[in-house]
């Protein structure tokens, strides 16, 4: 599992060991017992949001899917840091995917599929989750995608 995570991260140019900075007065991850809540992550590598723009306008579906993969990898990196290993995740619970959408763009679910597929590749059955995908007018820093998720750790 850890090797798959590192391979996926390397494939998109994301260093899973880089510090993940937050952009406001909140925590990137909150743990309550075995429940883990990851705040929304945008497709940021280092200090730069690398996938920006409205999907179906300034950028296409493939670019947005790339952004979704980076955002969910950031979520996994936060979980790994909290737990010490992704193997400590019993299962993913829910994922919410916000897609900055141009007027008329209605493929938010296809953008979210890229993140869902990555979770399944890395986590196997533990990566199965409930999901909501929503089209929005704007996201922080002009990002095309933002992903928040919840997971349950092993006892």
- Model pLDDT for residues 121-146, shown as the tens digit of each residue: 999 999 999 999 999 999 999 999 99
Lowest mean pLDDT of 9-13, 96-100, 114-118, name the range. Answer: 9-13
Residue 75's nearest CA partner among 143, 142, 127, 150 is 150
Other residues' Cβ atoms within 10 Å of the Cβ of residue 93: 16
Structure tokens at 130: 């409930």
**Cα(141)–Cα(62) distance, integer angstroms:** 20
CB 143 within 8 A of CB 93: no
Q: Note the pTM of the prediction, 2 decimals.
A: 0.93
The residue that leads in pLDDT, 46 or 65, is: 65
Following CA atoms 54, 56, 58, 62 in sequence, which dihedral angle do they give, to the nearest 10 degrees? 100
- pLDDT for residue 16: 64
Domains of the chain with bracketed CATH: 2-153 (3.30.1330.40)
- pLDDT for residue 122: 92
CA-to-CA separations, 96 to 10, 17, 129, 133, in angstroms, rounded: 24, 24, 10, 6
């Amino acid at each position: 599992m850890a090797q798959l995570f590192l391979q996926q991260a390397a494939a998109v140019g994301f260093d899973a060991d880089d510090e993940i900075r937050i952009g406001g007065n909140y925590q990137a991850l909150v743990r309550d017992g075995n429940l883990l809540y990851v705040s929304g992550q945008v497709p940021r590598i280092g200090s730069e949001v690398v996938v920006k723009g409205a999907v179906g306008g300034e950028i296409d579906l493939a670019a947005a899917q790339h952004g979704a993969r980076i955002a969910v990898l950031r979520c996994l990196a936060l979980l790994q840091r909290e737990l010490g290993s992704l193997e400590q995740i019993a299962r993913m619970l829910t994922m919410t995917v916000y897609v900055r959408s141009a007027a008329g763009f209605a493929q938010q679910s296809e953008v979210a599929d890229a993140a869902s597929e990555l979770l399944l590749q890395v986590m196997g059955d533990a990566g199965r989750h409930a999901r909501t995908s929503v089209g929005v007018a704007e996201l922080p820093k002009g990002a095309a995608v933002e992903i928040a998720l919840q997971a349950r750790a092993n006892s």
